[in-house]
């Protein structure tokens, strides 16, 4: 039996609004092309663990509604 080990790395950070720099909560952050995703917490912070052999392209989705 052969067992292969894959290294992992944790990626973390904050999601901020571009002009006001307000921290954004509830934003979906995911690694493109995978099922890895998390949602930012009340402070705009996210953390996720991925395999090191992936090419990482972090993307996020958030929506605003006009009043």
**pLDDT tens digits for range 50-61:** 877 766 666 666
What pLDDT, on the 0 to 100 scale, is given for residue 17? 86
The model's pLDDT over 6-57, given as tens digits with 9 standing for 90+, comes to 788 888 999 898 889 999 898 888 877 778 888 899 999 999 888 777 666 6
Q: What are the structural domain ranges in the chain?
A: 8-61
Quote the pTM value.
0.72
Among all chains, which residue has been given the structure tokens 């995978």?
34
* Cα distances (Å, whole numbers) of residue 54 to 1, 14, 16, 33, 36: 25, 21, 25, 10, 12
Give the start-end residues of each E strand in the chain. Answer: 8-14, 28-31, 37-39, 45-51, 58-61
């Amino acid at each position: 039996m052969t067992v292969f080990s894959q290294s992992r790395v944790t990626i973390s950070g904050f999601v901020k609004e571009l002009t006001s720099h307000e921290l954004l909560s509830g934003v979906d952050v995911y690694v493109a092309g995978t099922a890895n995703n998390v949602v930012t917490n009340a402070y705009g912070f996210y953390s996720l663990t991925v395999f090191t052999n992936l090419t990482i392209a972090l993307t996020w989705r958030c929506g605003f509604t006009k009043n």
